[in-house]
Structure 1
Amino acid sequence: MQSVHDEPNDDPHDEADEPPMVLVHRLRAITVELDALAGTFARRNGLHPTDLRALICLLDAARADTPATPGLLATRLGLNSAGTTALVDRLERLGHVRRDRDTADRRRVLLSVTPAAVDLGQSFFGPLIAAMLAHAETFDPAELAVVRRFLDGTLALVTE
């Protein structure tokens, strides 16, 4: 895929003079490229971009051992009740999400991503993830700690 960032920098101001700004530009470039990649995945699989965000949200909740409810999904995605219901209905119809009653509280519905949806995502994003992990292994633990501190701090700023 052609990157929108393959062109030479025509900015007469040398970014090397402002290292923190270089990081901002790199994050923006990564965001644009990942968004384009996610859009390609969504289009190829008949998904809306919000569908993909919902699946990621549910996978993150599972990884954090957080109960994934429609309410959690609504809050994280900024959706109202009707929009959340339509989203979950669509993902369930496509076979990407399963609804189950909470065994501890039968009034509560828990959402989970199906193994088929995980496999679908892995088939598309798996090679990129593997390459990113291999790249991360070229850093020593101290370097990784700095990268993580920067990314965690940036994420906190963006989510505020």
Structure 2
Amino acid sequence: MTKNKRSAETDVSGDGGDASALYRMDHSDPKSELVDRTGLSHDDLQQIARLMEALRTLREAEERLSAASLKYMRLSSVDMRALHFLIVAGNTEVLPTPGAIAAHLGISSASTTKLLDRLERGGHISRERHPDDRRALVIRITPETHEAAKRTVGQQQANRFNAAARLTPDEREVVERFLRDMTAEIDVSGIAWAEAAEAGALAETAEGAASE
């Protein structure tokens, strides 16, 4: 390597290997084709880049937690979402029906039935008759699964509260506004290329099911 060349770890950053430099718009969008940076100073760009890097590390931590929880519980991500829904329902004295679970997960009745069958076989849930409607069912998480989820995944997720509690009320307002604003900025609802990709994926799924 010559003196004019740097390693792959540092040549992108230009800041001694600072990972946040990967998120600086003057590096990824040097001609301002994507973002108008008028009025933003060099310090502004660096600060925003550090914020983007912090979001990246948060996402990675969440992904590691999710992967660890799925392996520990030996369940899928949809299974875990269903169990979380049941835990919250139990804590709030709500009677969760299969229909409520399907609506929460955004899946069909048939898929919900398969999910509940799988969770029941694994000893994670029980089906009971609804006390006010004998034709309906109420789904309960078993005490054993509830306890296992609470002392592992639940505890790690609850630790998020600690970070939020350390902020002042004004800081929480700023963080909430930022997160909601960013969510709106990156939402792909109504975006042509995203809807086309979704339609293509659904078509491939339908073709695969038809050929089976």
- TM-score, normalised to structure 2's length? 0.56
How many angstroms apart in 2 are the aligned matches of 1:67 and 1:156? 33
Moved more, 103-112 or 36-45: 36-45
Return the match for 1:109 from 129, 137, 148.
Answer: 137
Pair 1:143–1:106, CA change in 2 (3 A): same
Gaps of at least 5 residues in structure 2 are 1-17, 27-43, 190-212
| Pair 1:46-2:74 in alignment | yes
Partner of 2:111: 83
2:24 maps to amino acid: H
The aligned counterpart of 2:165 is 137
Shift of 1:88: 0.7
Map of 2:38 onto structure 1: none
Task: Tell me if 1:120 matches 2:120.
Answer: no
Match of 1:37 in 2: 65
Q: Give the partner amino acid of 2:22.
A: D
Q: Distance in 2 between matches of 1:127 and 1:137?
A: 16
Mark the CA change 1:41 to 1:111 in structure 2 (over 3 Å): closer, same or farther: same
Query: Which stretch shifts more, 85-94 or 11-20?
Result: 11-20
The two structures, once aligned, show a CA RMSD in angstroms of: 3.5
Greater shift in the superposed pair: 97-106 or 148-157: 148-157
SS of the residue corresponding to residue 131 of structure 2 reads coil
Match of 1:8 among 14, 19, 29: 19
Name structure 1 gaps, 5 residues minimum. Answer: 1-6
Distance 1:22 1:70, change over 3 A: farther
Aligned counterparts of 1:103 and 1:128: Cα–Cα separation in 2: 34
**Aligned-residue identity in percent:** 31
TM-score by length of 1: 0.71
Q: Does 1 or 2 have the higher relative contact order (CA < 8 Å, sep 6+)?
A: 1
| Higher Cα Rg, which structure | 2
Structure 2 residue 100 is matched with structure 1 residue 72: yes
SS in 1 for 2:83: helix
Deviation for aligned residue 1:123: 2.2
The number of aligned residues is 154
